[in-house]
A and B are shown apart, each in its own frame.
Chain A
């Protein structure tokens, strides 16, 4: 079984990230300091999401996975922050702690910001990176 946790395009949890509606970034377009805000959680009823290992103690973490290794973009081309103001000082490639527990429901969606580096990557559309939350355990509240 998978986890019900997911990333949404909005605070209301109405538009989940899917392969047809993925997270996007155009790092060389627009304001260099601009990031994008998304929300993490679930909209099912009565669930608490925790880390499978040491639940309630270990942090749920949002991190970047690289499917292509040496080619494409790198994990360090992305940085996260819980606030827009925190982006400039965030470490590229560092995972983001989301808390030791996320309760389900719209009101409990955790907002976060992400930014993709305006690097010297070749002109192309890259899909080798993904945002992952691993080792998630869903328990009834």
Chain B
């Protein structure tokens, strides 16, 4: 594609096989990385300031008039032909070119000319006389003509064939380098002509054989052997499929301890299921004559089948599977009545809690349901949070059946029920609960830590001028200790700048607190030439910086008021309210933590203040789980009370009716659908009886209302816990304090004394101790006419009144006073933040229609 030079530059060049090149602004020609080689033809009028004719294989033909100031004629394998008039200042005619042929015209006289380098063939014309000419390097064939007389000429480097004309007389000429045959030109030699052959030294890889003898290994070998015994095989489970006919013939089959005792049965055989309870049964048999031991039957396995006698054979339908609970002998009629159970309670009690969790689902929290004495009670506790029932099927399998959402198993009407057996009972309002106010309390310790950085700096000029007493370090420490705050020790957590992450130093108690004292100077020059000095630097301080902290525990009892309600029922029936409670408390000893600075948790976040709720034995996860348990318990309780209505009917014995089913009763007078809550099968094959019936009860759920707005159940998520407030700004402002001096007893002293002053409160001294050694002067003795030193001032030692002292302005309360940030009452005292949340519960509206 044709290259379009920038405006104002008369250069026309074209790229060979490359995309159009656009030179950067400000450069007349700029080539970069023209892989295929650029051919540039520069017109006669082209006079760039800094001309880069070409790069990377550019063929540039520079016209006669080309006179760049800083011209890079060519680089990287450029073929450049420089016209006679080409006179660059810093001309790099070519560099890095495998084949650079530079023909420099006679007029070429660069100042510092690199005519060629890196394989360039440069032909320097006669007039070429650079000051520092690098004629050629790295394989350049340079032909320097006679006039070539560089001052410091590097004529050729790296395999250069240089033919230097007779007139070549460089000052320091390196004719060639890196050659085996190097002929170095003398510093001055006339008519020098010497061929130069440069040979690159040989190179290659060296290889010397190495023979290593490896002896065969020897020793004992041992490898562990792991034997895994597996078993394999096929599993088969029998399937019994009963295709029932219409026969009304039947019989009972009772197995007692594996023995068929059907023939001895007398009277009713009864089995009854109630949702959430054990399946019970009873039968009476007439034992064979002889001694009997009813108690030998306790725990014996019992199965009761209802046998349908079809034309094709007998079909056994299981009614009951369990064991003997109580055998009762009646000596009057010599019968034994066996009361049996499917042993639901004992079976659950024997299971581990993980299995019960798996079976029941639900939730459990000791904070809501307390400790359970056995696993049956534990299972019941979990079921308090499940809107369903736990019981066992006829096959003995433990199952949980939800109250809602069951498909209708069968529909009964007047054609398949015993006449007059259909009945119903509406729920009583008094049995309803449609609102529960649940209160949950969660008690734990809230740990606080605050840091205060104190800085005091005395005014040396004031101190010295007024001869104030020295501030003792002990005074400072006593004042700081009296605040009740703790010092930092060693690398105790840094709070001086609000940052840092050091921990308490490990090991025993350190000796001294970390207070950085600023000592008094030993000498201080007062105006007028007086000198103040002191020698108590180890026990006094001009200033100090100390970090202090305080940590304490606060008892917090979060109080959650959880309102669980059924809006539909409230609308229809009015609010019927109950209460529930739950609580969870941490027993962790906060006082022990307060008294031991090293006790965990350390609270070393490095901030000015840190608050951490701490309850290692009853954390927030347990709290949330307890809240959710309490809510579920309330939901289930509300839902359960809305299932108190009943509808029932009796049909010929139907062993498929089970408390895990839902049944519909459909008559003109009563229409009801609901989960079966009770099944009672009774049969009597005595000659004067002969009946086998099944009575079932269903529990339609409902709120009694019609057309009420649908309620969306509120997800059972715990409410957000209350958050501890940050310290007030007035408190935070005292986390870093700069304390000053308050000097009393001067005319300028601030009056009256402010009781809230902090820092060093000191009075100037009313009197000063003076120790004057006296002074003498040279005086000529009138008698002897000799110079003698005579005492002119008597020595004096004693007290003298301080003329600066103003007694009326002396402060009454002096000393060092430090005041730490106040701890707010609601940060120290027990608190009970309250949280409320409402949960709405929809009530399933099962079919229940009555007609007169």
1/0 contact string of B461-489 vs chain A (CB within 8 Å): 00000000000000000000000000000
B240 near A126 with CB under 8 A, answer yes
Task: Please tell me if the beta carbons of B407 and A31 are within 8 angstroms of each other in the complex.
Answer: yes
Q: A15 contacts B239, CB within 8 Å?
A: no
What 0/1 pattern do residues 410 to 432 of B give for CB contact below 8 A with A?
10000000000000000000000
- CB contacts (< 8 Å) of A140 on chain B: these are 228, 230
Known pairs A31-B410, A125-B316; A17 contacts B237 (CB<8 A): yes
Contact yes or no, B355 A12, CB < 8 A: yes
Tell me the B residues contacting A by CB distance below 8 Å: 228, 230-245, 247, 303, 310-318, 321, 347, 351, 354-356, 358-359, 392-393, 395-399, 407-410, 654, 656, 661
Choose from B237, B303, B398 the contact partner of A23 (Cβ within 8 Å): B237
Is A24 an interface residue, CB under 8 A from the partner? yes
Q: List 9 A-B contacts (CB under 8 A).
A: A9-B395, A14-B351, A28-B244, A30-B661, A31-B409, A77-B241, A123-B247, A125-B313, A138-B230
A5 touches B235 (CB 8 A): yes
Docked pose: A11 CA to B232 CA in angstroms = 24
- Chain A nearest CB, measured from B92 CB (Å): 71
Which residues of chain A are near B395, meaning CB under 8 Å?
9, 15, 17, 21, 24
Q: With an 8 A cutoff between CB atoms, is A87 at the interface?
A: no
Judged by a CB distance under 8 angstroms, whether A96 is at the interface is: no
Residues of A69-89 contacting chain B, CB below 8 A: 73, 77-78
For chain A residues 7-40, which have a beta carbon within 8 Å of chain B?
7-15, 17-31, 33-34
Q: In the complex the two chains form, what is the Cα distance from A116 to B313 in whole Å?
A: 20
Contact yes or no, B355 A21, CB < 8 A: no
Instruction: Specify which chain A residues have a CB less than 8 angstroms from the CB of B244 in the assembled complex.
Output: 26, 28-29, 123
Contact A30 B399 (CB under 8 A): no
Contacting pair B243 A124 (CB below 8 A): yes
- What residues of B have a CB within 8 angstroms of the CB of A1 in the complex? 231-233
State A78–B407 Cα separation when bound (angstroms).
21
Q: A12-B358, A12-B359 are in contact. Are A125 and B241 (CB under 8 A)?
A: yes
Select A137's contact among B232, B393, B408, beta carbons within 8 Å. Answer: B232
Contact of B351 among A2, A12, A77, A130 (CB under 8 A): A12
B234 touches A135 (CB 8 A): yes
Q: Which residue of B lies closest to A60 (CB)?
A: B235
The reply on A103 being an interface residue by CB < 8 A is no
Give chain A residues whose Cβ lies under 8 Å from the Cβ of B393: 9-10
Rounded to whole Å, the gap between the CB of B234 and the closest CB of chain A is 4
| Nearest B residue to A120, CB-CB | B243
Contact of A138 among B232, B237, B318, B321 (CB under 8 A): B232
- What 8 new A-B contacts, CB under 8 Å, besides A17-B238, A26-B243, A123-B312? A11-B359, A12-B351, A15-B396, A21-B396, A107-B358, A116-B241, A125-B242, A136-B233
Instruction: Return the CB mask of A50-74 against B: 1 if under 8 Å, else 0.
Output: 0010000000000011000000010
Q: How far, in whole Å, are A106 and B357 apart by their CA atoms in the complex?
A: 10
Output the least CB separation between A120 and chain B (Å): 9
Residues A136 and B234 in contact in the complex (CB < 8 Å), given A11-B358, A107-B354, A124-B312: yes
Whether the Cβ atoms of A121 and B243 lie closer than 8 Å is yes
A3 beta carbon closer than 8 Å to chain B = yes
Q: How far is the CA of A123 from the CA of B236 in the complex (A)?
A: 25
Establish whether residues A127 and B316, one from each chain, have CB atoms under 8 Å apart when the complex forms: no
Q: Are A22 and B238 also in contact (CB < 8 A) when A13-B355, A124-B313 are?
A: yes
Give Cα distance in the complex from A137 to B354, angstroms. Answer: 27
Q: Within 8 Å CB of A135, what residues of B?
A: 232, 234
